[in-house]
Amino acid sequence: MKKVVVTREVFDETIECLEEHFVVDANQRDEKLSRERLFEKIADADGIQTASNDRVDEEFLAAARNVSIIANTAVGYNNIDLEACSKRKVIVTNTPGVLDQSVADFAIGLMIAACRRMGEAERYLRSGNWRSVYLKQMLGIDVNGATLGLIGFGRIGQEIAKRARGFSMRILYHSRNQVNANIERQLGAQFVNKDDLLRQADVVMLILPYSPETHHFIGETELSLMKERAVLVNVARGGIVDDSALIRALKERRIYAAGLDVFEGEPAINPEFLDLDNVVLSPHIASGSESTRKAMAMTAANNLVEVLAHGRPPLNWVNRE
């Protein structure tokens, strides 16, 4: 039987599915494996189910000399050197589609939390400082009727737009390609250039893939274009925002607030974020509902089964070309 390595803990049903077809070496204790220990495990693997924080590079692929498929348990794949995998004829897959609804829900929640100062308010209450209710207490920004600027307008961006319509929000979007007119009409969304979106939006929300082209897509220049009362929300990937520039803008109150689920260099984050009241922070959990994470793990496993057990193309082939 062929061998599959699962690098981080997944659900029992995922392991059961894989064990019907393969010898499975699964890290169900979720140990933080050193690169050396991981390389020992993958040395004779035919397939590997990776997590989004596994770095798949030339060194990794050299260690996994028998591997023919890397099944990433995430929709993003910036942790994987696609060029190196393609050179070695290693298939790379991801898990698109199954997390769209959960991420869209979370993005709306993060937006509301940042606009209405929910994180700050909870810390205030927990500290024992709340003494009374008064007119100007914890005043925030209304979401209803505000202008939402979505940077990135794929499946998740469009799901966010659907939800935003329930708040009577005006919806602007910017992406590499303009969607067709029918989708724009259905979602009440208007395509604009990046600078116009930044100038007009009350909430700027990022939901675009990370790549060398989108590194620091939001930096000092872009932040300077935003309204003083604007909110930035990032549920995309760390590195799309220049975190140092954002911290300066938040400290100097050049923008109102931010809601962040992703960070440069995560799980480490810039400690200056922790001292700011006008930012809501979460640990990369936008897709973190039980049903969604189970679906992600099973999608990755099914990609392995299609390729290694049935000799068929995978369900979600990233480097098909």
What pLDDT does residue 320 have?
Answer: 93
What pLDDT does residue 142 have?
Answer: 98
**What number is the average pLDDT over the span 77-89?**
96
**What number is the average pLDDT over the span 278-299?**
98
Using CB atoms within 10 A of its CB, is residue 302 exposed (0-12), middle (13-18) or buried (19+)?
A: buried
What pLDDT does residue 16 have?
Answer: 98
Q: Quick count: other Cβ atoms within 10 Å of Cβ 56?
A: 23
What pLDDT does residue 75 have?
Answer: 93
Q: Are 201 and 147 in contact, with CB atoms under 8 Å apart?
A: yes
Which of the residues 8, 237, 293, 306 is marked catalytic? 237
Give domain 3-96+290-309's CATH number out of 3.40.190.10, 3.30.420.40, 3.10.20.310, 3.40.50.720. Answer: 3.40.50.720
Q: Quick count: other Cβ atoms within 10 Å of Cβ 171?
A: 22
CA-to-CA distance for 112 and 107, rounded, in angstroms? 9
What pLDDT does residue 291 have?
Answer: 97
CA-to-CA distance for 83 and 268, rounded, in angstroms? 27
- The domains spanning 3-96+290-309 and 100-281 adopt the same CATH topology: yes
Q: How confident is the model at residue 297 (pLDDT cuts 50, 70, 90)?
A: very high
pLDDT at residue 321 above 90? no
pLDDT at residue 3 above 90? yes
As a whole-number percent, the residues of the chain with pLDDT over 90 amount to 99
Q: Residue 273 carries which DSSP code?
A: G
**What number is the average pLDDT over the span 297-311?**
98
Structure token digits, residue 297:
């793990």
Residue type, 175: S
Q: How confident is the model at residue 2 (pLDDT cuts 50, 70, 90)?
A: very high
Mean pLDDT of the residues in the chain: 97
Nearest to 309 by CA among 10, 92, 46, 11: 46
**What number is the average pLDDT over the span 102-118?**
98
Structure token digits, residue 13:
């049903």
Concatenated DSSP letters for 101-153?
Answer: HHHHHHHHHHHHHHHTTHHHHHHHHHTT------TTTT-----TTPEEEEE--
Fold of 100-281: Rossmann fold (3.40.50)
Please confirm, yes or no, whether 155 is among the known catalytic residues.
no
pLDDT at residue 317 above 90? yes
Q: Are 11 and 294 in contact, with CB atoms under 8 Å apart?
A: yes
Please confirm, yes or no, whether 37 is among the known catalytic residues.
no
**What number is the average pLDDT over the span 5-10?**
98
The gap between the terminal CA atoms of the chain, to the nearest Å, is 29
CA-to-CA distance for 283 and 19, rounded, in angstroms? 31
Summarize pLDDT for 168-186 with one digit per residue, the tens: 999 999 999 999 999 999 9
What are the boundaries of each domain within the chain? 3-96+290-309, 100-281
Please confirm, yes or no, whether 284 is among the known catalytic residues.
yes
Bridge partners for 48 per DSSP: 5, 70
pLDDT at residue 77 above 90? yes
Q: Give φ, ψ of 143 to 5 degrees.
A: -85, -40
**What number is the average pLDDT over the span 40-61?**
97
